[in-house]
Structure 1
Amino acid sequence: MTDPRTLAFALPGDITTLTGGYIYDRRLVEGLRAQGRSVRVIALSDAFPTPDAAQMSQALDALQALPADQPVIIDGLAFGALDPQGVAAIRAPIVAMIHHPLAQESALPADLADHLWRTERANLAHARRILVPSPHTRQMLIDRYDVTPDRITVARPGTDRQAIPPAPAPVSPPLILSVGILHPRKGHDVLIAALARLADLDWQAVIVGNPWDAAHVTDLQAQIAASGLSARLELAGRVEADRLAQLYRRASVFALATRYEGYGIVFDEALSHGLPIVTTRTGAVPDTVPADAGLLVAPDDAPALAQALRRMLSDPQDRAARAAAAARAGAALPGWPDTAQIAGDVLDGLG
């Protein structure tokens, strides 16, 4: 019999990394432990999803050593890239945590995308159950990866509920806040290009995100300097939690020009702070951002993004209405204990 009260959670690198997927994993582990479960975190190589042979072997050795009566949740950043023959030899019941399929990452070489699609598809066949953060990701696994619907459970990310949320304190000129790792997929380059078209308006902007790709950070800094926006656009990088909370309170608009999202935890954060949202119509975003709380445009369309931002900045009544809709949606979002409860039910059902 499987013991769902004792389990392992395997993921690449450091679980405290500040990206949406890692935040989800960390909060899920905390929530499962709060249920009285014993959760051992296994840190696989941070080279995933493109490990070398030694890193792959080390990961598979660790996973194959797990007992057959205790489940393991494996984060998709590693799970989808593991050697399928090695995955077949894992004795522990596998629950895959797929934030978004690896082959859907932007700017992948075609041969790597095809390889990751094949390995993830093969490995998903070995998972007893699969957790996903959104209906969009669930449908993608059904349509493109031949996963049967009965094995997939949507565990939407939670938010931190507060009895008395801090009151917004918007500053002047209006602050446009963007939060997302400094990685090409987040489209910060598109946002900068859009902001450059709004030089005639009065605004300030801050882009917050953990530096993920050093070369991309350098490119973003050069783009800001060339655009002449340095005086009012800050590429803040990683910031402390207190400053981020303050930025959410001071902002008037949340903007993210993402090229793809399997969910997008930052949108829930923006909603919970009552911020109207300007973003892109891609992946799970249309299911995450209510139509009355935001303006969505096509990915990689800086002129359209600029037009949406111009509307948000130039029409205070519309902005206020969308902010009110965002606050209503934010108040109805699940908490992290709800997310953990769904995952706990999946574990308990392994039998």
Structure 2
Amino acid sequence: MMSLHLVVPDGIDDPARASGGNVYDGRLRDGLTGLGWEVVEHAVSGPWPWPDAAATAALSAALDAVPDGALVLVDGLVASASPAVLVPAARRLALGVLVHLPLGVDVPAARAAEREVLLAARTVVATSAWTREWLRHHYVLATVHAAPPGVDRAPVAAGSGTGGALLGVGRASRAKGYDVLAAALEMLDDLPWSCTWVGRVDEVDPVTAGRGRIDLAGPLAPGLLAERYDAADLLVLPSRGETYGMVVTEALARGVPVLASDVGGVREALGQTSDGQLPGLLVAPGDPRALAAGLRLWLTDADFRATLRVSALDRRTDLAGWDTTVARVLEALPTPTPTLRGARP
């Protein structure tokens, strides 16, 4: 039986702490287990990505417990700011790093440490082609493997029948552009619409939270979230940055078109139909007027809505599942060895 030690932030299965990275880590673990792998999960607590002394010690202890030469895959959220722990560990372990969001994207000061970690690893797996190219360009890495998230097939959404049911999914934060959406919707008071936002709301100030008549549903269990997707006509993703955007493919899996910011890997997740059309609309990030214009077009033009629905249904047919993601990660994993240079005596 093949064995993998998977080092992840604690709480990846906690619905209240749902994130794309947590879902990815859990689906990878479950997919490998389903293929007969022994997956030893090491959940490390700490203020990631910037660990304190206690978190660094916990990470070091977790890796010290792994036998020499063993195959290890560490979530970049845990690894990338900890070269003092990861670089020595890489000398005795078949170490890979799974990068969801490079720390250096938002914090250039972190790039030196992150690059040191990734250069020491025997393999680097990025969760989107956009992330792979970013790492190659900024860190001059010879090889980075891309394993984008999969998506589960789902029934075609019923929608509202009017086009006015809007849905946002993710943490209600500035990074996800919640404030941009609230401001955009204020410009559409002359039109009929409803908007639900599913996700944590702890980063939303009371003033912003009260704007735009948005229903803040908070985190929802998978079954309840599926009900919100089924009722939606359009997914809105106004993020200021995304390495992929798993909610995009979750919507498309139900034939729901997407209106999103044209940032990072969102265009990759959105993809194209068989005849080269976008199953949604992309607008400039951080621009409420641009988002409002896109929403107004959707809400007022029935032919436009019908075209995007057809495109979303077309794109739905060729979305990759999580089995493809797991297979791509497997192809990227290094071969475990009994001993490695620099292993402990």
Taking structure 2 as the reference length, the TM-score comes to 0.90
**Structure 1 equivalent of residue 134 of structure 2:** 140
**Structure 1 equivalent of residue 216 of structure 2:** 235
Does the Cα contact within 8 Å between 2:151 and 2:250 map onto a contact in 1?
yes
Does the Cα contact within 8 Å between 2:164 and 2:194 map onto a contact in 1?
yes
Does the Cα contact within 8 Å between 2:159 and 2:165 map onto a contact in 1?
no
User: Does 1:318 find its partner at 2:323?
Assistant: no
User: Does 1:87 find its partner at 2:68?
Assistant: no
Partners of 1:20 and 1:63 in 2: how far apart? 24
Cα distance change, pair 325–183 in 1 and its aligned pair in 2 (3 A) = same
User: Does 1:6 find its partner at 2:7?
Assistant: no
Q: How many residues align?
A: 327
Deviations for 1:136-157, whole angstroms, at most 9, x for unmatched residues? Answer: 11110110012113xx211111
Task: State which of 110, 120, 123 in structure 2 corresponds to 1:116.
Answer: 110
Moved more, 21-30 or 292-301: 292-301
Task: State which of 156, 169, 190 in structure 2 corresponds to 1:200.
Answer: 190
Partners of 1:256 and 1:114 in 2: how far apart? 25
Quote how far apart the aligned CAs of 1:308 are.
0.4
Partners of 1:201 and 1:224 in 2: how far apart? 20
Taking structure 1 as the reference length, the TM-score comes to 0.88
Q: Secondary structure at the match of 1:193?
A: helix
Quote how far apart the aligned CAs of 1:103 are.
2.3
Does the Cα contact within 8 Å between 2:59 and 2:85 map onto a contact in 1?
no
Partners of 2:28 and 2:194 in 1: how far apart? 35
**Structure 2 equivalent of residue 260 of structure 1:** 241
Partners of 2:57 and 2:109 in 1: how far apart? 18
RMSD of equivalent CA atoms = 1.8
**Structure 2 equivalent of residue 108 of structure 1:** none
Q: Percent identity?
A: 34
Q: Secondary structure at the match of 1:177?
A: strand
Deviations for 1:224-250, whole angstroms, at most 9, x for unmatched residues? Answer: 42x3x33xx201110122221111111
Residue ranges of structure 2 left out of the alignment (5+ in a row): 272-276, 338-345
Quote how far apart the aligned CAs of 1:183 are.
3.0
Quote how far apart the aligned CAs of 1:324 are.
1.4
**Structure 1 equivalent of residue 151 of structure 2:** 159
Q: Secondary structure at the match of 1:125?
A: helix
Deviations for 1:285-338, whole angstroms, at most 9, x for unmatched residues? Answer: 122213521111111100000000100111111111111111211221111111
Cα distance change, pair 171–243 in 1 and its aligned pair in 2 (3 A) = farther
Does the Cα contact within 8 Å between 1:19 and 1:210 map onto a contact in 2?
no
Does the Cα contact within 8 Å between 1:170 and 1:251 map onto a contact in 2?
yes
Q: Secondary structure at the match of 1:148?
A: coil
Partners of 1:349 and 1:299 in 2: how far apart? 41
Quote how far apart the aligned CAs of 1:348 are.
6.3
Task: State which of 282, 291, 304 in structure 1 corresponds to 2:290.
Answer: 304
Quote how far apart the aligned CAs of 1:266 are.
0.5
Partners of 2:149 and 2:315 in 1: how far apart? 14
Quote how far apart the aligned CAs of 1:135 are.
1.2
Residue ranges of structure 1 left out of the alignment (5+ in a row): 106-112
Quote how far apart the aligned CAs of 1:173 are.
6.8
Q: Secondary structure at the match of 2:333?
A: helix
Q: Secondary structure at the match of 2:4?
A: strand
Task: State which of 232, 241, 246 in structure 2 corresponds to 1:251.
Answer: 232
Cα distance change, pair 167–236 in 1 and its aligned pair in 2 (3 A) = closer
